[in-house]
Amino acid sequence: MDHSSSSFIISPYPQSIKLDKTLKLGVMASGSGSNFEAIARSIDEGELNAKIELLIYNNPEATVKNRAQKYQIPSLLLNHRDFPHRKALDRAIVEEFKARDVEWVIMAGWMRIVTEELLKAFPQRVINIHPSLLPSFKGINAIEQALDAQVKITGCTVHLVDLEVDSGPILVQAAVPILPNDTPETLHQRIQIQEHRIITQGIAIASALQRS
């Protein structure tokens, strides 16, 4: 049985939004970048009217750079260890994105807490995806938190970012049932399937809300 099919999407906004204007995106990632690729693929297939102007990654070992190369998207390493503090890193990120006229910033597995340097430069235009049904299970190890709490349903959330960790207005969520024999790995795989479904929806919803 395909248990991913029992998942469902939750949002007060339409699930299908067509954008008249091409969005200029800047994406930030720290790991393998499967959500980055979901966005790039959605753009390639004509589902999302957008262009990724730049991928910034902070981990030299992050394989997301290979996905960027696959889609011929410019990428840049800004190793957080090269900066004295978070604000300095965020200032460098803002400088790179502004140089490319980026309009929306997408945190697609960005494992750093952002500061007001980024949020003031892109007010209400920074989007994050988190592997839980927020406001439950904020922070790191959200999947392990859900399993430890023995809840029956978890999921993922796309939301606008503010200064509080994993907070800000929710754009769209997908609920994923927790199965009796789930491990962090098996649950993560099913949540990731839903992340790939809703990340582009969240971007389209956020853009539509800005225009309304």
- Report, as residue numbers or ranges, the catalytic residues: 130
Q: Residues of 77-110 as b/e, b for ≥16 C-beta within 10 angstroms?
A: ebeeeebeeeeebbbbbbebbeeeebbbbbbbbb
Q: What is the dihedral of CA 131, 132, 133, 138, to 10 degrees?
A: -120
The kind and range of the H/E element at 193 are: helix 184-211
Binding-site members for (6R)-10-formyltetrahydrofolate are 86, 111-114, 128
Binding-site members are 33-35, 86, 111-114, 128
DSSP 7-76: -EEE-SS-S----SSPEEEEEEESSS-HHHHHHHHHHHTTSS-EEEEEEEE--TT-THHHHHHHTT--EE
Q: What is the dihedral of CA 39, 40, 41, 43, to 10 degrees?
A: 90
Tokens 């606008």, residue? Answer: 160
Q: What are phi and psi of 194, to 5 degrees?
A: -75, -35
